[in-house]
Structure 1
């Protein structure tokens, strides 16, 4: 394994850890913030294919936070519980899609997408 491949693989492992931290945040909460910080730190010196993952992870965090706030605000109207449930499903799907592309060492085709 040459140095470039090994460096790329090491960077991929950081992105994988971030996805795992995001999924763990569904139970522990604070791990999502740790993952966000790691994504911001690692984004600058990552190879191009990996930058799409970090961008995806950063957007996933902020959009999930936005949807959570909207869900909490509208919970008194009962629609908020549906928003919170759909937010969790959306979050899990984005993490799984990211992990799948990461395992293939492929960039995400639309890292700025709001959906999947």
Structure 2
């Protein structure tokens, strides 16, 4: 089975074209080497993929016939992704919270003046 089809069947990507694009970008590896979307995968292969700033690692247990329901995915792969990868994503989410709320827009003139006063007071 093709690697892009395998990842689509296991619901890592919403469409096959997105999985194909990820292969072409180089974010998918099989047994440590970057692969093309047409690369065949077999049981026992180790697949690594980077999605949403998480490096997933999984082992192919079996090949599905078609796209699976979410409950059946664990029968066809063994997820060996370390738990620290998910913890890092949580920390990244908190680090992106600025004092401005998302969608508020550009800084106002008052914000700029406050920032200039702050930076000038530190260096004086």
TM-score, normalised to structure 2's length?
A: 0.24
Name the structure where strand makes up a greater proportion of residues: 2
Q: Tell me which structure has the larger Cα radius of gyration.
A: 2
Name the structure where helix makes up a greater proportion of residues: 1
- Which structure has more relative contact order (CA 8 Å, sep 6+)? It is 1
